[in-house]
Amino acid sequence: METFLGPEAMRAWSESRRAEGKRVGFVPTMGYLHEGHTSLVRIARKMGCHAVAASIFVNPTQFGPGEDYERYPRNEERDLAMLSAEGVAAVFIPGVKEMYPEGHQTHVEVTGVSQGLCGAIRPGHFRGVATVVAKLLLIARPHVAVFGEKDYQQLAVIRAMARDLDMDVEIAGAPIVREPDGLAMSSRNKYLEGEDRKAALCLYKGLCAARDLYAAGVRVPEKLVNVARARIAAEPRAKLEYVEARDPETLSPSLPASGRMTILLAARVGPARLIDNITLEGKAA
Ligand code: PAF
Protein backbone atom coordinates (compact mmCIF):
# COMPACT_ATOMS: atom_id res chain seq x y z
CA MET A 1 0.00 0.00 0.00
CA GLU A 2 1.36 3.39 -0.98
CA THR A 3 0.83 6.54 1.06
CA PHE A 4 0.89 10.06 -0.34
CA LEU A 5 1.12 13.34 1.52
CA GLY A 6 0.80 15.70 -1.41
CA PRO A 7 -1.97 16.14 -4.01
CA GLU A 8 0.40 15.78 -7.01
CA ALA A 9 1.63 12.32 -5.95
CA MET A 10 -1.90 11.15 -5.21
CA ARG A 11 -3.17 12.37 -8.56
CA ALA A 12 -0.23 10.79 -10.41
CA TRP A 13 -1.04 7.41 -8.80
CA SER A 14 -4.65 7.65 -9.91
CA GLU A 15 -3.78 8.79 -13.42
CA SER A 16 -1.43 5.78 -13.78
CA ARG A 17 -4.16 3.36 -12.69
CA ARG A 18 -6.58 4.98 -15.13
CA ALA A 19 -4.00 4.72 -17.90
CA GLU A 20 -3.73 0.98 -17.15
CA GLY A 21 -7.48 0.76 -17.74
CA LYS A 22 -8.32 0.19 -14.08
CA ARG A 23 -11.48 1.46 -12.47
CA VAL A 24 -10.45 3.62 -9.51
CA GLY A 25 -12.53 3.59 -6.33
CA PHE A 26 -12.14 6.15 -3.55
CA VAL A 27 -13.16 6.19 0.10
CA PRO A 28 -12.69 9.61 1.77
CA THR A 29 -12.49 9.43 5.58
CA MET A 30 -11.49 11.45 8.61
CA GLY A 31 -9.70 8.40 10.05
CA TYR A 32 -10.25 6.55 13.32
CA LEU A 33 -11.68 3.85 11.12
CA HIS A 34 -14.28 1.23 11.98
CA GLU A 35 -16.18 -1.47 10.11
CA GLY A 36 -18.42 1.13 8.52
CA HIS A 37 -15.37 2.47 6.67
CA THR A 38 -14.04 -0.93 5.67
CA SER A 39 -17.49 -1.78 4.27
CA LEU A 40 -17.08 1.23 1.95
CA VAL A 41 -13.86 -0.25 0.58
CA ARG A 42 -15.62 -3.56 -0.07
CA ILE A 43 -18.49 -1.81 -1.81
CA ALA A 44 -16.04 0.05 -4.08
CA ARG A 45 -14.53 -3.29 -5.02
CA LYS A 46 -17.96 -4.85 -5.62
CA MET A 47 -18.65 -1.95 -7.95
CA GLY A 48 -15.77 -3.12 -10.11
CA CYS A 49 -12.99 -0.94 -8.72
CA HIS A 50 -9.78 -2.94 -8.76
CA ALA A 51 -7.69 -0.03 -7.59
CA VAL A 52 -9.13 1.42 -4.39
CA ALA A 53 -7.69 4.49 -2.68
CA ALA A 54 -8.70 6.06 0.63
CA SER A 55 -7.97 9.37 2.28
CA ILE A 56 -7.47 10.27 5.93
CA PHE A 57 -7.91 13.95 6.67
CA VAL A 58 -9.63 15.56 9.64
CA ASN A 59 -10.97 18.55 7.75
CA PRO A 60 -10.90 21.67 9.92
CA THR A 61 -13.30 23.64 7.72
CA GLN A 62 -16.26 21.37 8.48
CA PHE A 63 -15.99 21.94 12.24
CA GLY A 64 -17.59 24.97 13.81
CA PRO A 65 -16.17 27.02 16.67
CA GLY A 66 -16.40 25.02 19.91
CA GLU A 67 -16.89 21.72 18.06
CA ASP A 68 -14.61 18.69 18.44
CA TYR A 69 -11.91 19.37 15.81
CA GLU A 70 -9.06 19.36 18.35
CA ARG A 71 -10.19 16.24 20.20
CA TYR A 72 -11.50 14.30 17.16
CA PRO A 73 -10.05 10.79 17.66
CA ARG A 74 -6.97 9.96 15.61
CA ASN A 75 -4.95 6.76 15.18
CA GLU A 76 -3.09 6.81 11.89
CA GLU A 77 -1.08 3.65 12.47
CA ARG A 78 -4.17 1.55 13.17
CA ASP A 79 -6.04 3.17 10.25
CA LEU A 80 -3.24 2.30 7.81
CA ALA A 81 -3.12 -1.30 9.07
CA MET A 82 -6.89 -1.63 8.58
CA LEU A 83 -6.80 -0.17 5.08
CA SER A 84 -3.90 -2.36 4.09
CA ALA A 85 -5.73 -5.45 5.41
CA GLU A 86 -8.70 -4.48 3.19
CA GLY A 87 -6.44 -4.40 0.14
CA VAL A 88 -6.51 -0.63 -0.30
CA ALA A 89 -3.76 0.25 -2.77
CA ALA A 90 -3.15 3.92 -1.94
CA VAL A 91 -3.84 6.27 0.95
CA PHE A 92 -3.80 10.05 0.72
CA ILE A 93 -2.91 11.61 4.10
CA PRO A 94 -2.42 15.32 3.55
CA GLY A 95 -1.77 17.87 6.26
CA VAL A 96 -3.83 21.03 6.61
CA LYS A 97 -1.17 22.99 4.68
CA GLU A 98 -1.40 20.63 1.71
CA MET A 99 -5.19 20.96 1.53
CA TYR A 100 -5.46 24.65 2.41
CA PRO A 101 -2.21 26.37 1.44
CA GLU A 102 -1.92 30.04 2.21
CA GLY A 103 -4.11 32.00 -0.16
CA HIS A 104 -6.85 29.37 -0.36
CA GLN A 105 -10.00 31.34 -1.10
CA THR A 106 -12.44 29.08 -2.92
CA HIS A 107 -15.38 27.29 -1.31
CA VAL A 108 -18.16 25.10 -2.60
CA GLU A 109 -21.63 25.85 -1.32
CA VAL A 110 -24.56 23.56 -2.04
CA THR A 111 -27.77 25.40 -1.16
CA GLY A 112 -31.19 23.61 -0.85
CA VAL A 113 -30.26 20.21 0.49
CA SER A 114 -27.67 21.66 2.92
CA GLN A 115 -30.37 23.63 4.70
CA GLY A 116 -32.27 22.35 7.73
CA LEU A 117 -31.42 19.22 9.76
CA CYS A 118 -27.67 19.24 10.56
CA GLY A 119 -27.22 22.28 8.30
CA ALA A 120 -29.38 24.37 10.65
CA ILE A 121 -27.47 23.27 13.74
CA ARG A 122 -23.95 23.34 12.29
CA PRO A 123 -23.73 26.51 10.15
CA GLY A 124 -20.93 26.24 7.59
CA HIS A 125 -20.53 22.50 8.11
CA PHE A 126 -21.72 21.40 4.68
CA ARG A 127 -19.77 24.17 2.97
CA GLY A 128 -16.66 22.67 4.60
CA VAL A 129 -17.67 19.16 3.57
CA ALA A 130 -18.50 20.11 -0.04
CA THR A 131 -15.26 22.06 -0.40
CA VAL A 132 -13.01 19.30 0.91
CA VAL A 133 -14.85 16.54 -0.97
CA ALA A 134 -14.63 18.54 -4.23
CA LYS A 135 -10.89 18.94 -3.66
CA LEU A 136 -10.41 15.27 -2.74
CA LEU A 137 -12.29 14.15 -5.85
CA LEU A 138 -10.20 16.42 -8.07
CA ILE A 139 -7.04 15.07 -6.47
CA ALA A 140 -7.92 11.36 -6.35
CA ARG A 141 -9.73 11.37 -9.73
CA PRO A 142 -11.82 8.25 -8.94
CA HIS A 143 -14.43 6.65 -11.18
CA VAL A 144 -16.47 5.84 -8.05
CA ALA A 145 -16.46 7.46 -4.58
CA VAL A 146 -18.27 5.74 -1.71
CA PHE A 147 -19.86 7.46 1.31
CA GLY A 148 -21.80 6.01 4.25
CA GLU A 149 -25.54 6.55 4.55
CA LYS A 150 -25.24 7.31 8.26
CA ASP A 151 -24.38 10.84 7.16
CA TYR A 152 -27.50 10.88 5.01
CA GLN A 153 -27.67 14.64 4.48
CA GLN A 154 -23.93 14.74 3.69
CA LEU A 155 -24.44 12.11 0.99
CA ALA A 156 -27.31 14.14 -0.49
CA VAL A 157 -25.12 17.28 -0.47
CA ILE A 158 -22.26 15.45 -2.20
CA ARG A 159 -24.59 13.95 -4.80
CA ALA A 160 -26.05 17.40 -5.53
CA MET A 161 -22.56 18.89 -5.82
CA ALA A 162 -21.29 16.18 -8.17
CA ARG A 163 -24.39 16.54 -10.35
CA ASP A 164 -24.49 20.34 -10.39
CA LEU A 165 -20.77 20.71 -11.12
CA ASP A 166 -20.82 17.97 -13.80
CA MET A 167 -18.17 16.02 -11.93
CA ASP A 168 -17.16 12.91 -13.81
CA VAL A 169 -17.58 10.57 -10.84
CA GLU A 170 -20.18 8.11 -9.60
CA ILE A 171 -21.23 8.82 -6.01
CA ALA A 172 -22.27 5.63 -4.21
CA GLY A 173 -24.04 5.35 -0.86
CA ALA A 174 -23.38 2.47 1.53
CA PRO A 175 -25.76 1.08 4.18
CA ILE A 176 -25.20 1.98 7.84
CA VAL A 177 -23.10 -0.57 9.73
CA ARG A 178 -24.28 -1.07 13.32
CA GLU A 179 -22.81 -2.44 16.51
CA PRO A 180 -24.42 -5.75 17.63
CA ASP A 181 -26.90 -3.80 19.83
CA GLY A 182 -27.88 -1.47 16.98
CA LEU A 183 -25.83 1.68 17.66
CA ALA A 184 -24.69 3.10 14.31
CA MET A 185 -20.91 2.86 13.99
CA SER A 186 -19.19 6.22 14.22
CA SER A 187 -15.72 7.42 15.11
CA ARG A 188 -17.44 9.68 17.66
CA ASN A 189 -18.70 6.61 19.58
CA LYS A 190 -15.23 6.78 21.13
CA TYR A 191 -16.56 9.64 23.27
CA LEU A 192 -19.20 7.34 24.82
CA GLU A 193 -18.29 5.69 28.09
CA GLY A 194 -20.29 3.67 30.62
CA GLU A 195 -23.83 4.96 31.03
CA ASP A 196 -23.51 7.24 28.02
CA ARG A 197 -22.79 4.26 25.78
CA LYS A 198 -25.97 2.54 27.01
CA ALA A 199 -28.00 5.74 26.69
CA ALA A 200 -26.80 6.27 23.09
CA LEU A 201 -28.89 3.30 22.03
CA CYS A 202 -32.01 5.47 22.36
CA LEU A 203 -31.36 6.90 18.87
CA TYR A 204 -31.65 3.48 17.27
CA LYS A 205 -34.53 2.52 19.56
CA GLY A 206 -36.37 5.67 18.49
CA LEU A 207 -35.90 4.74 14.82
CA CYS A 208 -37.03 1.17 15.52
CA ALA A 209 -40.18 2.48 17.22
CA ALA A 210 -40.95 4.54 14.09
CA ARG A 211 -40.17 1.54 11.87
CA ASP A 212 -42.55 -0.69 13.87
CA LEU A 213 -45.36 1.83 13.68
CA TYR A 214 -44.78 2.18 9.93
CA ALA A 215 -44.88 -1.60 9.55
CA ALA A 216 -48.22 -1.55 11.39
CA GLY A 217 -49.57 0.72 8.66
CA VAL A 218 -49.10 4.23 10.09
CA ARG A 219 -48.06 6.67 7.35
CA VAL A 220 -48.66 10.01 9.12
CA PRO A 221 -45.14 11.47 9.42
CA GLU A 222 -45.91 13.40 12.64
CA LYS A 223 -46.92 10.16 14.37
CA LEU A 224 -43.74 8.38 13.29
CA VAL A 225 -41.60 11.33 14.32
CA ASN A 226 -43.39 11.63 17.66
CA VAL A 227 -42.86 8.01 18.61
CA ALA A 228 -39.12 8.37 17.93
CA ARG A 229 -39.03 11.67 19.83
CA ALA A 230 -40.77 10.10 22.85
CA ARG A 231 -38.27 7.24 22.94
CA ILE A 232 -35.36 9.68 23.03
CA ALA A 233 -37.09 12.00 25.53
CA ALA A 234 -37.38 9.00 27.88
CA GLU A 235 -33.57 8.85 28.07
CA PRO A 236 -32.39 11.51 30.54
CA ARG A 237 -28.79 11.48 29.25
CA ALA A 238 -29.87 12.29 25.70
CA LYS A 239 -30.66 15.75 24.39
CA LEU A 240 -32.55 15.63 21.11
CA GLU A 241 -31.55 18.16 18.44
CA TYR A 242 -34.04 17.15 15.78
CA VAL A 243 -36.09 14.30 14.43
CA GLU A 244 -37.73 14.78 11.05
CA ALA A 245 -39.34 12.82 8.23
CA ARG A 246 -38.03 13.73 4.77
CA ASP A 247 -38.26 12.61 1.16
CA PRO A 248 -35.45 10.01 0.85
CA GLU A 249 -34.36 11.37 -2.55
CA THR A 250 -34.62 15.16 -2.23
CA LEU A 251 -34.69 15.55 1.58
CA SER A 252 -37.71 17.80 1.08
CA PRO A 253 -40.17 17.88 4.01
CA SER A 254 -43.00 17.24 1.50
CA LEU A 255 -43.11 13.50 1.23
CA PRO A 256 -43.72 11.46 -1.94
CA ALA A 257 -47.12 9.80 -2.51
CA SER A 258 -45.41 6.38 -2.44
CA GLY A 259 -45.18 6.64 1.36
CA ARG A 260 -41.39 6.25 1.29
CA MET A 261 -39.71 8.45 3.85
CA THR A 262 -36.46 8.78 5.74
CA ILE A 263 -36.57 9.58 9.44
CA LEU A 264 -33.42 11.51 10.37
CA LEU A 265 -32.37 12.43 13.87
CA ALA A 266 -29.54 13.96 15.84
CA ALA A 267 -29.00 13.98 19.59
CA ARG A 268 -26.29 14.74 22.09
CA VAL A 269 -25.41 12.02 24.57
CA GLY A 270 -22.81 13.10 27.10
CA PRO A 271 -19.88 14.57 25.14
CA ALA A 272 -20.94 13.05 21.80
CA ARG A 273 -23.17 14.45 19.08
CA LEU A 274 -24.71 11.49 17.28
CA ILE A 275 -26.82 11.12 14.14
CA ASP A 276 -28.79 8.23 12.70
CA ASN A 277 -31.54 7.59 10.18
CA ILE A 278 -33.79 4.95 8.69
CA THR A 279 -35.64 4.79 5.39
CA LEU A 280 -39.16 3.42 5.66
CA GLU A 281 -40.86 1.87 2.67
CA GLY A 282 -43.12 -0.96 1.65
CA LYS A 283 -46.55 -2.15 2.55
CA ALA A 284 -47.94 -2.52 6.06
CA ALA A 285 -47.35 -5.98 7.54
O1 PAF B 1 -17.86 11.62 6.44
C2 PAF B 1 -16.69 12.01 6.65
O3 PAF B 1 -15.88 11.31 7.24
C4 PAF B 1 -16.27 13.39 6.20
O5 PAF B 1 -17.29 14.30 6.32
C6 PAF B 1 -15.68 13.41 4.77
C7 PAF B 1 -16.70 12.99 3.73
C8 PAF B 1 -14.47 12.50 4.70
C9 PAF B 1 -15.23 14.84 4.41
O10 PAF B 1 -14.30 15.32 5.32
pLDDT 10s digits, 98-117: 999 999 999 999 999 999 99
DSSP state for residue 178 in the 8-state scheme? B
Which is it for strands 238-246 and 261-269: parallel, antiparallel or unpaired? antiparallel
Residues 6+ apart with CB under 8 A from 67: 122
**139-161 tens-digit pLDDT:** 999 999 999 999 999 999 999 99
Separation of 126 CA from ligand 1 center, angstroms? 10
227 close to 213: Cβ distance less than 8 angstroms: yes
Residue 13 to residue 2: CA distance in whole angstroms: 9
> Residue 89: what residue type?
A
- 187 CA → ligand 1 middle, Å: 11
Mutate which of 129, 138, 149, 274 to test ligand 1's pocket (most atoms within 8 Å of Cβ)?
Answer: 129
pLDDT for position 126? 98
Buried b (16+ CB within 10 A) or exposed e, 191-210: bbeeebbebbbbbbbbbbbb
Q: What are the backbone dihedrals phi and psi of residue 88, each rounded to the nearest 5 degrees, phi first?
A: -65, 135
Q: Where are the alpha helices (DSSP H) in 100-179?
A: 117-121, 125-140, 152-164
Whole-number Cα distances in Å, 66 to 22, 71, 82, 94, 188: 43, 11, 30, 24, 16
Does residue 130 surpass a pLDDT of 70?
Answer: yes
How far apart are the CA of 26 and the centre of ligand 1, in A? 12
For residues 210 and 275, is the Cβ–Cβ distance under 8 A?
no
Q: Which residues of 245-284 are buried (b: 16+ CB within 10 A; e: fewer)?
A: bbbbeebeeebeeeeebbbbbbbebbebbbbbbbebeeee
Ligand 1 binding site (Cβ under 6 Å of any ligand atom): 28-30, 59, 62, 129, 132-133, 151, 154
Q: What is the pLDDT of residue 285?
A: 61
Residue type, 92: F
Predicted confidence (pLDDT) per residue in 157-173, tens digit: 999 999 999 999 999 99
Residue among 124, 137, 105, 17 nearest 61 (CA): 124
Cα separation of the two ends of the chain = 48
Give yes or no for a contact between 173 and 43, defined as CB atoms under 8 angstroms apart: no
Q: Encode pLDDT of 185-235 as tens digits.
A: 999 999 999 999 999 999 999 999 999 999 999 999 999 999 999 999 999
Cβ 59 vs Cβ 30: under 8 Å: yes
Give the confidence band of 75 by pLDDT, cuts at 50, 70, 90.
very high
Give me the catalytic one of 37, 50, 104, 143. Answer: 37
User: What gap in Å lies between CA 194 and CA 197, rounded to an integer?
Assistant: 5
